[in-house]
Structure 1
Amino acid sequence: MKDLLLIALFAFLGAAAAGLVGLVALRVLRRRSVAVSLAVVAAVAVGAMLAGTMAVAQAMFLSSHDLKVVTTVCAMAAAVSLATALLLGRRVVAGSRALTAATRSFGDGGSFAPPTGAPTAELAALGRELAVTSAKLARSRAREQALDASRRELVAWISHDLRTPLAGLRAMAESLEDGMAEDPARYHRQIRTEVERLSGMVGDLFELSRIQAGALALARARISVYDLVGDAIAGVYPLARELGVRLDGGSVDSVPVEVDGKEMTRVLGNLLINAIRRTPADGTVAVAARRERDEVVLSVTDGCGGIPEEDLPRVFDTGWRGNDARTPPAGAGLGLAIVRGIVEAHDGRAGVRNVPGGCRFEVTLPAALW
C-alpha cells in the first residue's frame, strides 16, 4: 500500500510539472490561433502522462524495459493526439474565419447568413444569434429609412403649405396697408381664416412632437363608447352639413372603455373630418363600435372610393396625404399620424382597409371590465 501511494505521489509531481509548463505555454501563446492552443493542450495531456511515468521510473518503481514500453506507447499517443488536435483546430479556425467574413458583411450594412457546417455547437449558436440580430437591425434600418423619408416629405409639404398662405397674408396685409383693398372686411375675414388654419397646423405639429417624445399625459376615465362617438359626431356635424355628407352613428354599442376622453374624441374627430372631406356630396360616413372579446373596435367608413393598395401601409405615416392632397384644406398630413400615436398610447392599434365604395378606418382599444 505504501509503494502504491509513493507511485501516485511521484506520478502526480511529474504530471503537475508538465501541467505548469503547459500553462506557461498557453499564456505565452494566448494570442495565437485556437489550433495552436489545442495542440498545446494535447501535448500537455501526453506530456503529463510521460512525465509521471519518468518520475516513477526515476524512483526505481519501473524497470528499464517497462519504461521503454510506456515511453513508446506515450509517443504513439502523442502523435495521434497532436494530429487530432491540429485537425480539430483547423476546422475551428476555418469556421471562425467564415463566421468573421459573414459578420463583416453584416456590419457593412448587408444581411447576415450564418455559415453552414459550424465545427462546434458554440459557433453554431453564435451564428444563430447573429442572424437574429441581423434581422432586427435590418428592420430597424428599414424603419429609420422610412422615418427619414417621412420627415423629408413632411418638411417639403409643410414648407409648401406655409409658403402659400403666408404669401397670401403678406399680399392682403400690403393691400390693406396701402389702402388698395376694395373690401377690407373681406380681407380681414380671409386673414383670420388663414391664421386659424396656420394655428391648427402648428398645434398639430406640437401634439405630434409630444406623442413622439412620449410626453403625452393621459387622464384615463371610464366612459361609454356611445358617448365618445356622440361627442365626436356633434363636433363635425357642421362640416358634414356644409359638404352635404350624411353621418350615420346607428351601429354603436354602449360598451365601456378606460381612455382619455379629450384625446380619444380628437382621434374620432380626425377620422371623421378626414372621411367627410373624402366623401362626395350626398355620400354617407358611418361610425360603428362593437365589442370583440376583450377589445372594443371603433370604425369609420367613408365613400372615398378606396385607397391604392400600395399606399395602405403608409396611411398613418407622418406627412402622408396621398397623391391628390397636396393643397389646402388637406392640412399637413398629421391628423392620421396623431390618431395612431394617441391610440398606441392607449395600448391600442389603428388600421385601415378598403371596403366596397370606400375605406374603413378601425381603432381597437382594450375593453374596460364591466
Structure 2
Amino acid sequence: MFFAANSLHRRLSIALGALAILVGLLGSLGTFLVVRSLATEFNASLRDAASHVQTGVPHPASARDAQRRLSDDLVVQIWSADDGDTPTRTSNRSVALPRGPAGFATIEYDGESWDVFGLAAGDEFIQVAESRSVRNRNAIRVAFWSLLPVFALLPLLVLTIAITVRVSLRPLERMGRRAARVDLHHLQPLDLARAPVELRPFLDSVNRMIERLSVLVNAERKFIADAAHELRSPISAMQLQIDNLRDAPPDQYAERFAELKRGIARTGSLVSQLLGLARAEIGSAQRVLVDVPLPQVVSDVVADLLPLAFARGVDLGVERLDDASVRATESDMRVLVRNLVDNAIRYGGEGTQVDVSVRSDAGKTVIEVLDNGPGIAEADLPRVFDRFFRAGANDVEGSGLGLAIAQALAGSYRGNVTLANRADGRSGIVARIELPRQPQA
C-alpha cells in the first residue's frame, strides 16, 4: 500500500519526511557553523594563553582598568619546584588561581567557578583552567544557533504541511462531490480508478450499496408499471359496468349490480395482494419474532381453504405434521402457506388431490404442498415467481402475485420457495418451502 500510486499514506509520508529531513539538515548546518566558530575562538584563546605564559611578557589584563577579553577565561599556570603559592609563569597574572590537585577539579575564585586540570611534569606542575561562565555561554550559543534555523523554518513548515495535506486529501473532496451527485435518477457506481488505496474498501461498500439500491429502485419501478398495467383492466371494466348499470332497464339492475360488485371485489383483492407483495419485499423493522408452531399454522390454513377446495372439487388434506417451529411472525407464515395451497387448489382443477406436510430436516424445516394436477410446462417453470405471471390457463381467477409474495416472504426469513413438476412419474406439482430453524428476519 505504501508504494501504491494513489496512496494518501505515501503522499503524506514522503512530503512530511522530506520536510523533516530539510529542517534537520539546516539545523545541523547551523550547529556546525556555531561549533566551528567556537573552535576558532578557542584556538585564539589557546594561542594567546601560550604566548603570555612566556616569562616577561605582560598580559593585557594585568594593566590597571584593563578590559577582560574572551581569552582571559582560559588561564595556563606553571609552577616550578621552588615556586610558592604563586606560579612564576602564567598566561594572566590578574587571575591568581590557587594550585589544585592533579587531575580534574573545580576551583572557586573571586565569586566564579573554574574548571581546572592539573598535571605534574617532572619538577614542574602545569594547571589549565577555564571559567565555568564561558562554557555556559558557549552552550547557550550552540543551543540558540541550533534552534534558530528551526524557528526560522517554522512558518514555512506550517504552510508547507497545510498545502501538502490539502493536496493529498483532494481525492477525498472529489469522491465526496461524486457521492453527492448520486440520487435515484443517477445511480452510477463511483469510479475507483483514481481513488486512494486507503479509501477503496469504503468506496467498495458504497458501490455495493448503490448497486443494491439500484436493484430495489428498478424493482419498484417495474412493480409500479406492472401494477398500473394490471389495475387498468379491472378499473376500465368497472367503469363499463357502471355505464351499463346506469343505462340498464330496471329488470337488469340486480344482475348488473352483482357484476359490478364482483369487479370491485376482484380489484380490492388485487390491491390487497399488491400491498402484501410490497410489504413482503420491503420487510418491516417492527417485526416481533416469536416461535411459530407450523403444524398449527398449516391446520388453520387448510381449515380456512376447505370451502374453496370443496367448491372446486379438490380433495385437500394433511399428510404429515412434524412438531416443528420457526422464529417468525405468525401472520407471515400464514400468508406464506396459504398462497401455496391456494395456488394448488386454483390451478389443480376438479378432482385434484392436494396434500400438505411439515417435516423437520437437518438444520431446516420443510413445508411441502403436493398435488396431482396437470403440472406446469417446463418452459414456464423459470417464470412462475414473476409478478403477474400465470402459467397454464389464463382463465383461472387470480392476479399472478401469490407465488411472488411467497418467495419474498421466505427470502425475508433467509428461506426459499421452489416449484417443480413431480419426479415420481405422476403429473402434478411439488411446492416446497424451506426455512432455517432460527431464521433472522
TM superposition score category, shorter chain reference: 0.5 to 0.7
Q: What TM-score does the superposition give when structure 2 sets the normalisation length?
A: 0.52
Match in the other structure for 1:170? 242
Match in the other structure for 2:319? 250
Cα shift readout 1:318-357 (whole Å, capped 9, x = no counterpart): x4434778777222x4434543555566x45342242435
Asked if the contact 2:416/2:433 (under 8 Å) is kept, the reply is: yes
Cα shift readout 1:195-232 (whole Å, capped 9, x = no counterpart): 33233334334545555472776584653x23322221
Three-state SS of the structure 2 residue aligned to 1:60 is: helix
Three-state SS of the structure 1 residue aligned to 2:39 is: coil
Q: Tell me, in whole angstroms, the C-alpha distance in 2 between the residues paired with 1:175 and 1:221.
A: 56
Distance 1:367 1:112, change over 3 A: closer
Match in the other structure for 1:278? 347
Asked if the contact 2:368/2:432 (under 8 Å) is kept, the reply is: yes
Match in the other structure for 1:45? 24
Q: Tell me, in whole angstroms, the C-alpha distance in 2 between the residues paired with 1:253 and 1:288.
A: 8
Q: What TM-score does the superposition give when structure 1 sets the normalisation length?
A: 0.60
Match in the other structure for 1:157? 230
Distance 1:156 1:353, change over 3 A: same
Q: Tell me, in whole angstroms, the C-alpha distance in 2 between the residues paired with 1:248 and 1:268.
A: 14
Q: Tell me, in whole angstroms, the C-alpha distance in 2 between the residues paired with 1:61 and 1:310.
A: 96
1:360 aligns with 2:431: yes
Q: Tell me, in whole angstroms, the C-alpha distance in 1 between the residues paired with 2:221 and 2:41.
A: 81
Match in the other structure for 1:82? none
Asked if the contact 1:272/1:300 (under 8 Å) is kept, the reply is: yes
| Displacement after TM superposition at 1:290 (Å) | 0.8
| Displacement after TM superposition at 1:191 (Å) | 3.4
Three-state SS of the structure 2 residue aligned to 1:249 is: strand
**Aligned residues: percent identity?**
18
Distance 1:174 1:134, change over 3 A: same
Asked if the contact 1:290/1:297 (under 8 Å) is kept, the reply is: yes
Three-state SS of the structure 2 residue aligned to 1:56 is: helix
Asked if the contact 1:348/1:365 (under 8 Å) is kept, the reply is: yes
Q: Tell me, in whole angstroms, the C-alpha distance in 2 between the residues paired with 1:139 and 1:210.
A: 18
Asked if the contact 2:340/2:403 (under 8 Å) is kept, the reply is: yes
Aligned pairs for 1:1-370 within 5 A: 39-60=18-39, 123-164=196-237, 166-176=238-248, 178-179=249-250, 181=252, 184-208=253-277, 212=282, 214=284, 220=290, 223=293, 225-257=294-326, 260-302=329-371, 303-305=375-377, 308=380, 310-311=382-383, 315=385, 319-322=387-390, 329-331=397-399, 333-340=400-407, 342-343=409-410, 347=413, 349-356=415-422, 357-364=428-435, 366=437
Moved more, 214-223 or 42-51: 214-223
Q: Tell me, in whole angstroms, the C-alpha distance in 2 between the residues paired with 1:154 and 1:131.
A: 34
Structure ranking higher in helix proportion: 1
Distance 1:342 1:143, change over 3 A: closer
The aligned amino acid for 1:308 is: D
Q: Tell me, in whole angstroms, the C-alpha distance in 2 between the residues paired with 1:308 and 1:209.
A: 24
| Displacement after TM superposition at 1:114 (Å) | 5.3
Cα shift readout 1:18-56 (whole Å, capped 9, x = no counterpart): xxxxxxxxxxxxxxx867666434422322322332333
| Displacement after TM superposition at 1:246 (Å) | 3.4
Structure 1 residue runs without a partner (length 5+): 1-32, 65-92
Distance 1:339 1:206, change over 3 A: same
Asked if the contact 2:383/2:389 (under 8 Å) is kept, the reply is: no
Asked if the contact 1:270/1:335 (under 8 Å) is kept, the reply is: yes
User: C-alpha root-mean-square deviation of aligned residues, in Å?
Assistant: 4.5
| Displacement after TM superposition at 1:140 (Å) | 2.9
Match in the other structure for 2:146? none
Q: Tell me, in whole angstroms, the C-alpha distance in 1 between the residues paired with 2:193 and 2:289.
A: 53
Distance 1:52 1:359, change over 3 A: farther
Bigger-Rg structure (1/2): 2
Q: Tell me, in whole angstroms, the C-alpha distance in 1 between the residues paired with 2:16 and 2:325.
A: 68
Q: Tell me, in whole angstroms, the C-alpha distance in 1 between the residues paired with 2:244 and 2:41.
A: 116
Asked if the contact 1:157/1:326 (under 8 Å) is kept, the reply is: no
Asked if the contact 2:356/2:369 (under 8 Å) is kept, the reply is: yes
Structure 2 residue runs without a partner (length 5+): 1-10, 44-166, 423-427
Distance 1:354 1:215, change over 3 A: same
Asked if the contact 2:419/2:432 (under 8 Å) is kept, the reply is: yes
| Displacement after TM superposition at 1:170 (Å) | 0.8
Q: Tell me, in whole angstroms, the C-alpha distance in 2 between the residues paired with 1:261 and 1:113.
A: 45
